Amino acid sequence: MILDGCAEQSIAAGARCIRAGELLGLPTETVYGLGADADSANAISKIFAAKGRPADHPLIVHVPDAASVAHFAATVPDFADRLIKAFWPGPLTLILPRRAGVAAAAAGGQDSIGLRCPSHPVAQALLTACRQTDGSTAQQVVWGIAAPSANKFGRVSPTTAQHVQSEFGSELLILDGGPCAVGIESTIIDCTRSVPVLLRPGAVTREQAQAVCGQKVFLSDEWIPAEATAPRASGTLASHYAPHAKVRLMDATEMQTAIDLLGQGLQSASGIAAAIAVYSRTEFKIRVSQLLRRRMPQDAAQTAHQLFAVLREFDQQGVKLIWIETPPDGIEWDAVRDRLQRAAADPGGTCENLEEKHETSNR
């Protein structure tokens, strides 16, 4: 059931849902999350079950303010404190040493925990409502809401309430806060080492973080601990954010060649044109009018805002293959490039496979 997230009664209903140990769909400025009380192991188990997510993959915990960090984190390095002051509320997640006995299930059993303070007004209202009590000892304070993206594990993240409902059905309570402003997940910086380490790019860039920290922010492959084989943060697997269709990244020349190669067959083969979608900045010569085409904005932030919605639209149209023009070089495109590379990591999206499927359909 989708409720208007701007209505006070909807926020109250959402808070009751979280306190009761149930799941809730909620908006943030990045993507919609599937939320539960971060300190309730039973509630957290419902997130893993609903998403089909391995229980050792940590969840990001959303908090209403910087003061809430002390409940979850054992220590906060100086550079992490500077990041909090500069970018919270906002699309930045910090991995911090976890306090013993707190939110172990949400942390996937690790000794660290990911914390973020979202800026979305509906998320803020919900977190504030969950913190408030009526003075009853029976009413537990909810210090934070664990909320991974509200989609099946490894699939495209949702950016509208309707996307969430399409994933989990009408029985899930969802607060509608409109389309997400950022459109891709938060930047993640690991603060459990002696230096800040970027685990996932996002709207907060590495250069912005370095300017605030006053020191280098390392990439994950530049500063790797000898231990720790389990993922330390959400959305850092090689294959992630994948639509049901196979994704292939190509530069403009490769894409025009592929379109030309398949063009004649697409015109003559019944039902094949609708199976291929193109998402590109370049205006290609496409002689097949049935080929599904969406223009990628020239601006990285605009592309991030619409990326997941476009991938979901292609899935809804039933396409089997998605050709995407490789993003330009430049730090502003890092987050979009990261999501597309992970979406394309699922094997099968190669030119050879596309041609083979095309030839098979003509037999």
231: in domain = no
- Mean per-residue pLDDT of the chain: 86
Q: Report whether pLDDT(139) > 70.
A: no
Q: Are residues 75 and 150 both part of a single domain?
A: yes
Mean pLDDT computed over 298-325 = 93
Burial class (CB in 10 A: 0-12, 13-18, 19+), 86: middle
- What's the whole-number mean pLDDT along residues 307-312? 94
State residue 233's pLDDT score. 64
**257 confidence band (pLDDT: 50, 70, 90):** confident
Q: What does the pLDDT read at residue 229?
A: 45
User: Within this chain, do residues 273 and 192 fall inside the same structural domain, yes or no?
Assistant: no
Helix (H) or strand (E) holding 355: helix 351-361
Instruction: Output helix, strand, coil percentages for the chain, rounded to the nearest 5.
Output: 35, 20, 45
Give 258-290 pLDDT, tens digit per residue: 888 776 555 555 555 468 899 999 988 776 666
Whole-angstrom distance, CA of residue 20 vs CA of residue 33: 18
Across the strands, what pairs with 113? 96
Q: Domain boundary at 177, 202, 219, which?
A: 219
Query: What H or E segment, with its residue span, contains residue 343?
Result: helix 334-343
* Same domain (yes/no): 7, 64: yes
**Same-domain status, 340 and 210:** no
CATH code of 29's domain: 3.90.870.10
Residue 154 pLDDT grade (very low, low, confident, very high; cuts 50, 70, 90): confident
SS3 188: strand
Same domain assignment for residues 214 and 258 = no
- The highest-confidence range among 24-28, 56-60, 242-246, by mean pLDDT, is 24-28
Q: Do 295 and 336 share a domain, yes or no?
A: yes
Instruction: Identify the pLDDT of residue 158.
Output: 96
Contact 176, 13 (CB under 8 A): no
Q: Mean pLDDT over residues 244-248, rounded?
A: 91
Q: What are the residues facing 244 on neighbouring strands?
A: none
Range 301-304, long-range pairs (CB < 8 A, 24+ positions)? 301/203, 301/332, 303/327, 303/333, 303/336, 304/182, 304/183, 304/184, 304/203, 304/335, 304/336
**Which of 117, 105, 12 lies closest to 54 in space, CA to CA?**
105
**More confident call, 30 vs 363:** 30
Higher pLDDT, 215 or 134: 215
Can you tell me the distance from the alpha carbon of 190 to that of 78, in angstroms, rounded to the nearest whole number?
Answer: 13
pLDDT of residue 258: 84
Q: Which of 92-101, 251-260, 264-273 has the lowest mean pLDDT?
A: 264-273
Question: Which region among 45-59, 136-150, 210-224 has the lowest average model confidence (pLDDT)?
Answer: 136-150
List the structure tokens of 177. 């806060």
Least confident of 109-118, 297-306, 328-337, 343-352: 343-352
Burial class (CB in 10 A: 0-12, 13-18, 19+), 66: middle
Q: What is the residue-wise DSSP string for 107-130?
A: TTT-SEEEEE----HHHHHHHHHH
Whether residue 236 lies inside any domain: the answer is no
The C-alpha atoms of residue 305 and residue 339 are separated, in whole angstroms, by 12
Residue 100 and residue 46 share a domain? yes
User: Does one domain contain both 202 and 58?
Assistant: yes
Lowest mean per-residue pLDDT among 93-97, 266-270, 347-351: 347-351
What is the domain extent for residue 250? 246-361
Residue 344 clears pLDDT 60, i.e. is over it: yes
For residue 138, pLDDT over 90 is answered with: no
Residue 192 lies in a domain: yes
Other C-beta atoms lying within 10 Å of the C-beta of residue 198: 22
Average pLDDT over residues 338-344: 91
**Residue 226 scores a pLDDT above 60:** no
Q: Work out whether strand 33-37 and strand 145-146 pair parallel, antiparallel, or are unpaired.
A: antiparallel
The SS3 assignment for 346 reads coil
Band of the pLDDT at 351, cuts 50, 70, 90? very low
Q: Would you say residue 238 has pLDDT above 70?
A: no
Give me the mean pLDDT over the 32-56 stretch: 94
Q: Is the pLDDT of residue 37 over 80?
A: yes
Residue 189, pLDDT above cutoff 70 = yes
212 and 135 belong to one structural domain: yes
Q: Which value, in Å, is the radius of gyration of the alpha carbons in the chain?
A: 21
Q: Are 288 and 220 in contact (CB under 8 A)?
A: no
**Does the pLDDT of residue 234 top 80, yes or no?**
no
Same domain, 111 and 12: yes
Number of independent structural domains in the chain: 2
DSSP 155: B
CA 35 to chain centre: 14
- Return the percentage of the chain with pLDDT > 70, whole number: 84
Write down the pLDDT at residue 276.
87
Q: Give the residue from 219, 238, 256 where a domain finishes.
A: 219
CA dist., res. 85 & res. 76, Å (int) = 12
Q: Is 156's pLDDT higher than 80? A: yes
Q: Establish if 225 belongs to a structural domain.
A: no
131-168 per-residue burial string, b: 16 or more CB within 10 A, e: under 16:
beeeeeeeeeebbbbbbbbbbeebbbbbbbbebbbebb
Sign of the torsion formed by the C-alpha atoms of 312, 316, 320 and 325: negative
Quote the CA–CA distance of 311 and 324 in Å, as a whole number.
10
* pLDDT score for 350: 39
Sheet holding 187-190, edge to edge: 2-4, 173-176, 24-26, 33-37, 145-146, 60-62, 112-116, 92-97, 187-190, 197-200, 218-219
